[in-house]
Structure 1
Amino acid sequence: MIDVLYFAWVRERIGAPRDQIETSARTVTDLVNELRAREPRYAAAFADLDALRVALDQELSEFDAPLDGVREVAFFPPMTGG
């Protein structure tokens, strides 16, 4: 079971702050593809992966990273400073 967290506009498009899912995904990209197939709101949230960042167990990661042993995946837009 993996906790999937959504922040900022990702949360707004999906309409929920988190999901707890059972997945056979091997990488973050595989997980995104499973989520996209769920409902149109997920497809909209994950339409442009260049506009998203991902953290695995609270560490910034890449979309090709493996999910073995991961308990939490968080999706959020890039942070801006200023």
Structure 2
Amino acid sequence: MAKLQRQLLDNLWPMLREGGTLLYATCSVLPEENSEQIEAFLARTPNAHVTTPNDVAWGITNGAGRQLFPAQSSHDGFFYARLEKRTA
């Protein structure tokens, strides 16, 4: 899935207008699909800036995003990162 996720990010980013927001979310706990995916995207995309809030009451900070781990009788794993397109 990591290869497909990389392709999706790279193909969608040019369609986003400057000042626009991209919310990257997965139902995964795998670093290569979550924090590592976003770190690699940020490294190759100079006009992408992290705007993920850190002052929320759920999940833990995980790189540029927030991570929830599966909980019995509750939810699956989840990750999200919020990015804004700015001038490079």
TM-score (norm: length of structure 2): 0.29
